[in-house]
Structure 1
Amino acid sequence: MTDSDATDAEAEYERWVSEIKQMRADKDEFFTEHSQSPIQPEVRDDFDGLSYFEPKPEFRVPTRVRVYGNPEPIELDVTAGQPIRYLRAYIFEFELRDERQQLAGYQQEGDDTDTIFIPFRDKTTGQQTYHRGRYMETEPDEELTNGDTVTLDFNLAYNPFCAYSETFACPLPPEENWLDVVVPAGERKPPEEIVE
């Protein structure tokens, strides 16, 4: 690698970290000020921001995509109420911590969106991170086909709103999306003082 390549890589890394920090600051502002914040107004004065792991490039992983032409419906249990029907539309295959892994990507049945929903648990769940699991999303620029490569960034993993208030009903990660590795990336457990 030349000095120029190293400088470019360092600049790209700094840009990536800066983008993540800005997203986190924007989310803190939303939680503090927005009328749809999951944090109750009476505890917002105690809110000093969400807790995150430091951004690490190793948890930004390229994945190989398998696409289901006729995705089968699956019902995801929720924290309260009736299960929600999703379509298991994609499988993302990747290596993490020198182990082969895969996660299913879902789209809500009848929902006209390109967003792919990836709820998951890992070995931090219930310890360093929310005990019911976390979410990721990706929205590819174009329609995915078998063998495409998509980057999943676990640094962007976030807690569902039900982590902050029981008034929300949130889908739970199905067992097929329980990773058997530690993923110390993204959002940590919510601070106790802001949980309803």
Structure 2
Amino acid sequence: MPPSIDVILSKFLSASVSEDVIFSSGAISCFVSFDSCPHLSLGKKALPKKEVFSFSTGFLFFVKKKKCEVKEDMAKNSDWKERLERERKEKDKFFAVHGQSPIPAEERAKFRGLEYYPPNADYQFELELYEHSDKKLLQIEDTGGNIRDFLRWGEFQFKVGDDECTLQAYKSDPSAELLFIPFKDATSGNETYGAGRYIDLEHERDRTPAGRWRFDFNNAYNPWCAYSKNYVCPFVPPENWLKIPVLAGEKKLKREEE
């Protein structure tokens, strides 16, 4: 005789999300993959069709979905963090020893790596780019006093906590598959570089299959003028000054004299 719904519910409530919840002599099994989560499966001696049908569209589906989502999210989150940490270490190595490093040669021996906020999934988004029908020319001054021409290509809209935010995306070359998003936020001049930080988005790398953009503040970086006066960088236009703190991405470089 198959177990009652009450027995099944009690098993579910007493099980952690990492445990299989047993139904008769079968079990819900879910094996994580990065692309998809398997459909619900029961053992050969599954509950009678009539009983399964009576609650599978609610309870059984919920159990499968809960287990799959938690395990898959944990795996993806771990993989994403490892990739981010690996990229940061590679950048540190480049900055420390490469001849094209923006760190002044006399400072490289003392360079101990860039400073970052810990990886934070709350600052990851998949966003629509609302392209401007009239892509106006915007002239932006750089730190060397030069004027650079950019096109206001489109706008990203998102929420951080309860705060509604927008950022403009620019292009210096209309044919290039690259978006440039400079921004300042409430950390600028304190924990992060005072002139702001940048995010670059590449069409092939940063688009989802559905056509949205993977917008990740964890990838926010300092312009090279933050490390040396030998470089000039565009200032952040006032329309991209955020009032909120963005606690993700690169921090201000700490030098030994500081």
Give TM-score scaled by structure 1 length.
0.91
Q: Number of residues paired by the alignment?
A: 191
Whichever residue aligns with residue 188 of structure 1, its letter is K
Select the residue among 7, 27, 36 that pairs with 2:91: 27
Is the CA contact 1:135–1:159 (under 8 Å) kept in the aligned structure 2? yes
Distance 1:111 1:193 in 2: 42
Q: Which has more strand, going by share of residues?
A: 1
Find the counterpart in structure 1 of residue 163 from structure 2: 99
Q: 5+ residue gaps in structure 1?
A: none
Q: Is the 8 A contact 1:117 1:136 kept in 2?
A: yes
1:179-194 equivalent positions in 2, closer than 5 A: 179-193=242-256
The CA deviation string for residues 18-52 of structure 1, in whole angstroms up to 9 with x for no partner, is: 11101101110110111111111111110110000
The residue number in structure 2 matching 1:71 is 135
Query: CA separation in 2, counterparts of 1:35 and 1:194?
Result: 23
- Structure possessing the higher radius of gyration over alpha carbons: 2
**5+ residue gaps, structure 2:** 1-64
CA 93–68 in structure 1, closer or farther in 2 if over 3 Å, else same:
same
The residue type paired with residue 22 of structure 1 is: R
Q: Distance in 2 between matches of 1:93 and 1:169?
A: 29
RCO higher in 1 or 2 (8 Å CA, sep ≥ 6)?
1
Q: Does 1:8 align with 2:72?
A: yes
Please tell me whether the aligned partners of residues 47 and 194 of structure 1 are also in contact (alpha carbons under 8 angstroms): no
Identity of aligned pairs, percent?
Answer: 34
Runs of 4+ in 1 over 3 A off after TM superposition: none
Give the corresponding residue for 2:225: 162
Equivalence for 1:49: 113
Equivalent position amino acid for 1:128 in 2? E
Q: CA shift at 1:97, angstroms?
A: 1.9
The two structures, once aligned, show a CA RMSD in angstroms of 2.0
Cα deviation code 1:106-146 (max 9, x no counterpart): 011x464211000000000000000100000111239x9xx
Return the TM-score normalized by structure 2. 0.70
Once structures 1 and 2 are overlaid, which stretch shifts more, 29-38 or 65-74? 65-74
Equivalent of 2:187 in 117, 124, 135? 124
